[in-house]
Amino acid sequence: MTRRTTAGPERPRRRGRPKGRAVLADRSQLLAAAERAIASVGTDVTMDQIAAEAAVTKPILYRTIGDRDAVIDAMSDVLVDRIVEEIAAFRSTGTAPRDAFRAAVSAYLSAVGAHRDLYLFVNAAGQRMGPLRRRIDRSSRTIIDVFEAAAGGLGTTTSPLTWSHSIIGALQIVTLMWIESDDIETDRPRRTVEDLADDFTHLLWPGVEAILAAARVDPTAGPDEPSDD
């Protein structure tokens, strides 16, 4: 077992720099491996496990991606990308604003449901203020964009940050409890995406609509301003 001259093929890799010229794993490969590791191990994947899944050792992971927060950030970005993609795919032109809202919520839920492990990982592990803040900021911008597109401009009448945060938070907890209700055995069956989207829309849409109406009546800011401040 300690003899290296007769080492069998089970020795994972020779020490030192390997023969091939190519870099062993680039960022995207590592992230894909991280996702696989998350899917197979679960929320509390270890850095070693991620590295092992990528057939690479820890220092490589640390050099290429960074520490655990960096991994969380990266997976968070991956997840948000997928969700945005899903929402964009579901967006049908010409529908009424309320339907667009509801469709977006529904698409969000579907996307999260399709990437359950990723979502749980990002949410469970990512509450270290740093990653969380970055994720919320990014989601905020996305949400604001979506609703500008769905409703044709918002302006800055009321602070968009507060209610984008509200919407994100509401969606987050609703989604979390929904997804988790699949994990642990609850008394009642898991609700459908459509039911949840309906409930959510019932609660949130009237306020959104009122704010949009107010913005339309009093357009103190141009509808095309990205409302950066």
Partner DNA sequence: GTCAGAAGTTACTCGGAGTAAATAAATCTC
Partner DNA sequence: GAGATTTATTTACTCCGAGTAACTTCTGAC
Tell the smallest beta-carbon distance from residue 40 to DNA (Å): 14
Position 63 contacts DNA (CB under 7 A): yes
Q: Is 58 in the site for DNA (CB under 7 A)?
A: yes
What is the C-alpha R_g of the chain? Answer: 22
| Non-local CB neighbours of 17 within 8 Å, separated by 6+ positions | none
Q: Does the footprint of DNA cover residue 75 (CB under 7 A)?
A: no
Residues in Cβ contact with 122 at an 8 Å cutoff, skipping those fewer than 6 apart = 72, 75, 76, 79, 131, 135
Q: Tell me if 118 sits within 8 A of 179, measured CB to CB.
A: no
Q: How far is the CB of 39 from DNA (least distance, A)?
A: 16
**What's the token pair of residue 52?**
């092992």
Residue pair 88/146 in contact by the 8 Å Cβ criterion: no
12: contact with DNA by CB under 7 A:
yes
Verify binding: residue 61, a copy of itself, rule CB under 8 A. Answer: no
Whichever of 60 and 149 has its CB closer to DNA, that residue is 60
Q: How far is the CB of 72 from a copy of itself (least distance, A)?
A: 12
What's the CA gap between 74 and 3, in Å, rounded? Answer: 40
Contact with DNA (CB under 7 A) among 32, 39, 60, 170: 60
Residue from 14, 27, 133, 202 touching DNA (CB under 7 A): that is 14
d(CA 161, CA 108): 19
28 binds DNA (CB under 7 A): no
Residue 157 has a CB neighbour count (10 Å cut-off) of 16
Nearer to a copy of itself, 115 or 135 (CB): 135
Size of the site for a copy of itself (CB under 8 A): 48
Alpha helices in the chain (DSSP H): 27-41, 47-53, 58-64, 68-90, 97-114, 116-125, 130-151, 160-183, 193-217
Task: Examine residue 192 and tell whether it contacts a copy of itself (CB under 8 A).
Answer: no
Restricted to residues 110-169, the positions that interact with a copy of itself (CB under 8 A) are 120, 123-129, 132-133, 136, 158-159, 161-163, 165-169
16 belongs to the binding site for DNA (CB under 7 A):
yes
